[in-house]
Structure 1
Amino acid sequence: MTCPRSRTDYRGLHVAAAHIQAELLEWEHPVLRVDRVRVRAHTCVCQSPIFELCTAGGLWFVRRITAESPAVVEESPQLSARDGENLWWRILHGKAR
């Protein structure tokens, strides 16, 4: 998929390239712990993997979706709001993968 050309076609944020010393995260297979998950932010579909900042049951986590066939979905550990937003920021800026 290509990136949008106008603001009306917005599809998400772009992730910076990973830094050489980026923190390597431990990704886990998703475990259904709650009935509903809210996606608070997401990255652009033009880049793989796609990241989603999610909240559920008062906890925050990041979901990573690789555009393989079939798609692979993994999640970070569940965190407090502050730690979840911090992790999201580190991923967006290439400081964590």
Structure 2
Amino acid sequence: MAKSGFLQDTYHGPHVASPSPDAELVDWSSPAHRVERVRVRAHTCCCRRPAFELCAAAGLWFVRRVADNGAITESPWTPSRDAIELWEQILRGQAW
């Protein structure tokens, strides 16, 4: 295994399931730029777009979405348990 810090050379992230017809719509908005540093806790495979990142900053968590054209949007910033639940819903295609 390559020593690149966070398995960047070997781990591509999970693929997101296609959204189900009754998927919950996420209130995506432009990045807030509230903090200087954001920690990416998990990410989906970038071979499919949109790609998603589960992020943490300033004691709150959110999901970042990166579209085909590179446009970035964010879910609302929430406590970790709510953001993790949203993350899992996105992975299962239950939220979009």
Which whole-Å CA distance do the structure 1 matches of 2:11 and 2:68 have between them? 19
Which whole-Å CA distance do the structure 2 matches of 1:25 and 1:50 have between them? 14
Aligned to 1:49: 50
Task: Give the length in aligned residue pairs.
Answer: 88
2:74 counterpart of 1:75: yes
Which whole-Å CA distance do the structure 2 matches of 1:83 and 1:91 have between them? 12
Runs of 4+ in 1 over 3 A off after TM superposition: none
TM-score by length of 2: 0.88
Structure 1 spans left out of the alignment, 5+ residues: 1-7
Which letter does structure 2 place at the counterpart of 1:75?
Answer: E
- Cα deviation for residue 50 of structure 1 reads 0.4
TM-score by length of 1: 0.87
- Cα deviation for residue 28 of structure 1 reads 0.4
List per-residue Cα deviations over 1:62-87 (Å, max 9, x = no partner).
0000121xx10000000101101000
Structure 2 spans left out of the alignment, 5+ residues: 1-8
State the identity %. Answer: 52
What root-mean-square deviation, in Å, do the aligned CA atoms of Structure 1 and Structure 2 show? 0.9
Aligned to 1:36: 37
Aligned to 2:85: 86
* Secondary structure, aligned partner of 1:9: coil
Which letter does structure 2 place at the counterpart of 1:15?
Answer: V
Q: Which segment is superposed worse, 18-27 or 8-17?
A: 8-17
